[in-house]
């Protein structure tokens, strides 16, 4: 099992969501976050005075992948989000030791499956 964290611009989220649905991804966690990277913020104006904003709004998407090969998943996400411009986002990949579904006590792969 692998946890994939994707940090993107908010306007890219609908594209990512559609791509995930096509892959059959049913579970994800989405968080609105603030961050900066290569973009280093931008200048806004407050009452006519320039204010340097270093933290930009981003969307963080966390997904635990177990059925789809991680490399296939990442390739699909990169293809969906690529624009070639600064701010396309980042993908972080982590190993997951275990998952436990609190309600049923199921662990591992079974804890991530939908009941049908």
Question: What does the mean pLDDT of the chain come to?
Answer: 88
What is the C-alpha to C-alpha distance for residues 9 and 88, in angstroms, rounded to an integer?
7
Looking at residue 88, what is its pLDDT? Answer: 86
How high is the pLDDT of residue 11?
A: 94
pTM of the full structure: 0.83
- pLDDT value for 19: 94
Q: What is the CATH number of the domain that holds 102?
A: 3.30.70.120
pLDDT at 91: 96
User: Could you say which residues of the chain have pLDDT below 50?
Assistant: none
* Full domain range(s) for residue 79: 2-112
Residue 31 · residue 8 · CB < 8 Å:
no
Number of domains in the chain: 1
């Amino acid at each position: 099992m692998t946890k994939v964290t994707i940090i993107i611009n908010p306007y890219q989220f609908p594209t990512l969501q559609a791509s995930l649905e096509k892959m059959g991804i049913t579970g994800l966690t989405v968080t609105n976050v603030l961050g900066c990277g290569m973009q280093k913020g931008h200048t806004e104006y407050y009452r006519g005075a320039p204010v340097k904003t270093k933290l930009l709004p981003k969307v963080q998407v966390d997904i635990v992948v177990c059925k789809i090969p991680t490399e296939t998943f990442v390739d699909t996400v990169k293809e969906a989000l690529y624009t070639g411009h600064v701010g396309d986002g980042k993908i972080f990949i982590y190993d997951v030791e275990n998952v436990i579904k609190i309600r049923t006590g199921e662990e591992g792969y079974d804890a991530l499956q939908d009941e049908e």
